[in-house]
C-alpha cells in the first residue's frame, strides 16, 4: 500500500514537472512570437510567466527592444550591469546606441559606445556622426568606407551621407563612385537613390539607366551621341559592365571598336579590368590579355585574385606573383595566396623563399595548410588527444550563457541560440572550449560541438572536432554505394554539421541537405518504397537518398573533387567547369568560379583527410586525393541529366 502510494506521488510529481516544462516552453515561444510580431503587451504577459526561468533574460531583452525609445535609462543600465559581458547585454547596448543615434544624442551615444563588442555598420556611421558633431574632420574621411558599401545603407549611414554632402566632404565624384559600386553589384534601386543626391542637370536620363540595366547590348550598339557629360559616359560604362556579366567577349568587342576609342583612357582601362575579371571568372583564356589592357588602373583585391587564378590556369608563375604583390596586406596574408606565392617561388627555383611561405601556414588542419605541410615533406597527423574531465564539463553546464543557448536550441530558436553560444565561447581558453564542446555534443547540438572544439589552439579533441554521429548509417550506405566513408562524412560535416533537422534558405533538408526535387528524383530512380517529402529529414531516408545521389554525381563527373563541386553547385555547372586539358587538382579547385563552392570543396577534401585518419588510422595525402582533374575528352561520362 505504501509502495503504491509512493508510486502515485512520484508519478504525479513527474507529470507536474512535465506540465511545468511545457508551460514554460509555451511561454518562451509565445514571448518570441510576440516579439517577432512587434506586440509588447502580449510579450509582457508571456514574460510574466518566466520569472526565474533560464530564458527570462531573453524575454526581458525582447521587451526592451520593442520599446527602446520609451525605456528608462535606469532600467537599461540595470539590465546591462546584471548581464555585463554577455550577448544579451551587447544586443541591448546596440539597440540603445541606435536610439541615441536617431535622436542625435551624441554625448549619451559616445558614453555608451565603448563596451560594445559587435561590429554594426549603422552604429559605425553614428559614431562618425558623433565625431563630426564635435568637430573631428577626420571622421568624414573615414566614413567614405561606409559610403562605398555595395548595398543599401541603413538610416544612420544615410543621415551621415546627408551631413557629408551638406558640408562638402562628399562631392559629385564621390556620388559617382558609389553609383559605380552599386551598379556593378546590380543594386539598381540603391543606385537610383544615390543619383538623387546629384543636381538634376547632372543626373542620367531615367530611360537611359533603364536601358543600360535591361538591354545593355542595344545601348552599346546605339550609344548617346554626346559622351561629354559624365552621366552619359557612366551609363555606357554600366552597360558594358552589365554586358560583360553575360558575355565578356561581346563586351571586349565593344571596347575594341569605335565606342571604346571614344571613351577616355581611364574609363576604357577601368572597363578592361572589369571585363578581364569576368573573363577569368568564366574560365576564359583571354583573361590575362585583357588584364594587360587595363594598364595602370588600380585593381581591387577581388580582381587581383581572379588575375592570379587566370595565371595559375595558364601556368604563368611570374604573373601569379605579379597579381599577388599589389593585394592589400590582409589579402596577401590569406592562406590561399601565401601558398600560391610559395608555389610560384618554387616553380621559379627559389626553394628557400617557397619554404618560408609554406612554414607560415603549415601545421593547421585546413586545406592550404595541409598542402603546405606536404610541400615541406610532411603529412597530416592527429594531435595528442585531450578529453575534458567530468568536473570541467560540470562547470560548463552551470555557465548561464551556455545554459540559455542550450535551452534555445532545445526550443528550436536556433538563430538566437547560435549567436548566444558563439558570444559565450569567444574568449574561452582551450580547456573551457573542450568542456563546452563536450557539453554540446552530449546535448546533440553537433554543430556547436564541432565549431567549439575547432577553436582550440594547443589542446585538441579531434574526435569532437570531426564528429561522426549516426556512423552506422553512413558506413552502411557508403559501403552499399561504393563510396569512401571518410569522404561522405567530410561532405556531411560541411553540409549540415550533422544537424538532423538542418534546413537551408533554399529548402535543402537534413543531414545531407537534399533539395526537394533532388530527393524526389533519387527516390523515383531507386524505387524507394514509402517515400514522402516529410520523410526526407529522417536520418535513414536522408542518408539513403543522399549517398545514392552522391554516387550519381561521382559517376557523372568522374572525380571526387568534381563530384564535391557538383553536390554543392549542381552537376551541370561542375561539368562546365571541367578543364579542357588535365589540370592539377589544387589549381582547378582554386579556379572554381563560385566562391561558396570553392570553399566548400576545399573544406570537404580537408575534412576527408582527417576522417580517414580518425576512422581508419591511415595517412591520407590531400595532394594525392585531389590529384589531377582529367581533361574533358578523357572522361567517358553517362548522358543522364542529374538535377
CATH of domain 471-634: 1.10.530.10
Predicted confidence at residue 212, as pLDDT, reads 96
> Binning pLDDT at 50, 70 and 90, where does residue 7 land?
very low
Nearest to 205 by CA among 248, 161, 236: 236
pLDDT in tens, 206-254: 999 999 999 999 999 999 999 999 999 999 999 999 999 999 999 999 9
3-state SS assignment for residue 28 = helix
3-state SS assignment for residue 314 = helix
88: cell is: 544579451
Q: Distance between CA 144 and CA 453 in Å, rounded?
A: 39
Predicted confidence at residue 20, as pLDDT, reads 54
Fold adopted by 390-460: 1.10.1240
> Domain residue spans in the chain?
390-460, 471-634
> Binning pLDDT at 50, 70 and 90, where does residue 14 land?
very low
Let me know how long the chain is. Answer: 643
Asked if the domains 390-460 and 471-634 are classified in one and the same CATH topology, the answer is: no
> Binning pLDDT at 50, 70 and 90, where does residue 640 land?
low
3-state SS assignment for residue 629 = strand
Q: Distance between CA 164 and CA 171 in Å, rounded?
A: 8
Residue 346 has pLDDT above 60, yes or no: yes
Beta strands in 88-230 (DSSP E): none
* 629 contacts: CB under 8 Å, gap ≥ 6: 559, 561, 562, 578, 579, 582, 583, 584, 585, 588
Q: Which of 416, 495, 584, 590 is catalytic?
A: 495
pLDDT in tens, 274-329: 999 999 999 999 999 999 999 999 999 999 999 999 999 999 999 999 999 999 99
Q: Distance between CA 475 and CA 454 in Å, rounded?
A: 24
* 43 contacts: CB under 8 Å, gap ≥ 6: 31, 34, 35, 59, 62, 63, 66
Query: CB neighbours (10 Å) of residue 557?
Result: 24
Provide the whole-model pTM: 0.92
- 224 in Cβ contact with 209 (< 8 Å): no
Active site residue 495: yes
Q: Distance between CA 16 and CA 9 in Å, rounded?
A: 10
Amino acid at each position: 500500500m505504501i509502495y503504491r502510494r509512493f508510486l502515485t506521488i512520484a508519478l504525479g510529481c513527474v507529470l507536474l514537472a512535465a506540465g511545468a516544462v511545457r508551460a514554460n516552453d509555451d511561454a518562451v515561444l509565445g514571448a518570441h512570437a510576440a516579439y517577432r510580431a512587434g506586440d509588447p503587451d502580449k510579450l509582457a504577459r508571456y514574460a510574466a510567466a518566466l520569472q526565474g526561468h533560464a530564458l527570462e533574460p531573453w524575454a526581458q531583452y525582447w521587451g526592451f527592444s520593442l520599446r527602446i525609445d520609451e525605456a528608462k535609462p535606469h532600467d537599461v543600465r540595470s539590465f546591462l550591469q546584471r548581464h555585463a559581458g554577455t550577448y544579451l547585454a551587447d544586443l541591448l547596448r546596440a539597440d540603445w546606441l541606435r536610439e541615441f543615434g536617431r535622436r542625435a544624442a551624441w554625448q549619451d551615444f559616445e558614453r555608451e559606445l565603448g563596451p560594445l563588442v559587435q561590429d554594426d555598420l549603422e552604429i559605425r556611421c553614428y559614431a562618425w556622426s558623433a565625431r563630426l558633431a564635435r568637430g573631428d574632420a577626420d571622421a568624414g574621411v573615414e566614413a567614405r568606407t561606409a559610403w562605398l558599401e555595395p548595398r543599401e545603407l541603413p538610416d544612420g549611414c544615410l543621415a551621415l551621407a546627408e551631413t557629408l554632402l551638406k558640408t562638402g566632404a562628399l562631392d559629385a565624384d564621390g556620388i559617382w563612385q558609389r553609383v559605380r559600386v552599386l551598379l556593378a553589384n546590380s543594386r539598381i534601386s540603391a543606385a537610383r537613390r544615390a543619383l538623387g543626391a546629384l543636381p538634376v542637370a547632372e543626373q542620367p536620363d531615367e530611360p537611359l539607366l533603364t536601358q543600360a540595366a535591361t538591354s545593355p547590348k542595344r545601348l552599346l550598339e546605339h550609344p548617346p551621341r554626346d559622351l561629354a557629360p559624365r552621366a552619359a559616359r557612366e551609363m555606357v560604362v554600366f552597360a558594358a559592365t552589365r554586358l560583360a556579366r553575360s558575355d565578356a567577349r561581346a563586351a571586349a568587342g565593344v571596347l575594341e571598336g569605335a565606342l571604346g576609342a571614344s571613351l577616355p583612357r581611364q574609363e576604357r582601362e577601368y572597363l578592361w579590368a572589369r571585363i578581364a575579371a569576368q573573363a577569368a571568372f568564366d574560365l576564359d583564356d583571354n583573361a590575362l590579355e585583357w588584364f594587360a589592357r587595363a594598364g595602370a588602373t588600380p585593381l581591387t583585391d577581388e580582381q587581383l585574385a581572379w588575375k592570379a587564378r587566370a595565371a595559375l590556369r595558364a601556368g604563368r608563375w611570374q604573373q601569379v606573383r605579379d597579381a599577388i604583390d599589389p593585394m592589400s596586406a590582409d589579402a596577401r596574408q590569406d592562406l590561399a595566396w601565401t601558398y600560391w606565392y610559395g608555389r610560384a617561388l618554387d616553380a621559379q627555383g627559389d626553394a628557400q623563399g617557397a619554404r618560408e611561405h609554406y612554414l607560415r601556414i603549415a601545421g593547421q588542419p585546413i586545406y592550404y595548410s595541409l598542402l603546405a605541410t606536404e610541400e615541406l615533406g610532411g603529412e597530416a597527423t592527429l594531435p595528442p588527444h585531450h578529453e575534458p574531465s567530468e568536473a570541467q564539463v560540470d562547470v560548463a553546464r552551470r555557465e548561464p550563457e551556455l545554459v540559455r543557448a542550450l535551452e534555445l536550441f532545445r526550443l528550436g530558436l536556433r538563430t538566437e541560440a547560435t549567436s548566444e553560444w558563439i558570444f559565450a565561447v569567444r574568449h574561452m581558453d582551450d580547456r573551457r572550449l573542450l568542456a563546452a564542446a563536450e557539453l554540446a555534443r552530449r546535448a546533440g547540438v553537433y554543430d556547436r560541438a564541432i565549431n567549439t572544439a575547432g577553436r582550440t589552439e594547443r589542446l585538441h579533441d579531434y574526435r569532437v572536432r570531426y564528429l561522426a554521429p549516426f556512423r552506422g548509417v553512413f558506413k552502411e550506405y557508403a559501403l552499399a554505394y561504393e563510396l569512401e566513408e571518410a569522404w561522405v562524412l567530410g561532405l556531411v560535416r560541411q553540409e549540415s554539421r550533422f544537424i538532423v533537422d538542418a534546413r537551408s534558405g533554399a529548402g535543402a533538408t537534413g543531414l545531407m541537405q537534399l533539395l526537394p526535387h533532388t530527393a524526389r528524383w533519387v527516390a523515383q530512380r531507386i524505387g524507394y518504397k514509402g517515400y514522402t517529402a516529410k520523410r526526407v529529414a529522417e536520418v535513414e531516408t536522408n542518408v539513403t537518398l543522399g549517398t545514392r545521389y552522391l554516387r550519381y554525381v561521382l559517376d557523372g563527373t568522374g572525380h571526387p573533387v568534381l563530384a564535391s563541386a557538383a553536390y554543392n553547385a549542381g552537376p551541370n555547372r561542375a561539368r562546365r567547369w571541367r578543364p579542357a586539358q588535365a589540370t592539377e587538382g589544387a589549381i582547378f579547385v582554386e579556379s572554381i568560379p563560385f566562391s561558396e563552392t570553392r570553399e566548400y570543396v576545399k573544406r570537404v577534401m580537408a575534412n576527408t583527410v582527417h576522417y580517414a585518419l580518425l576512422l581508419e588510422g591511415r595517412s591520407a595525402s590531400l595532394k594525392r586525393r585531389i590529384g589531377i582533374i582529367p581533361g574533358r575528352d578523357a572522361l567517358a561520362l553517362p548522358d543522364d541529366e542529374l538535377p
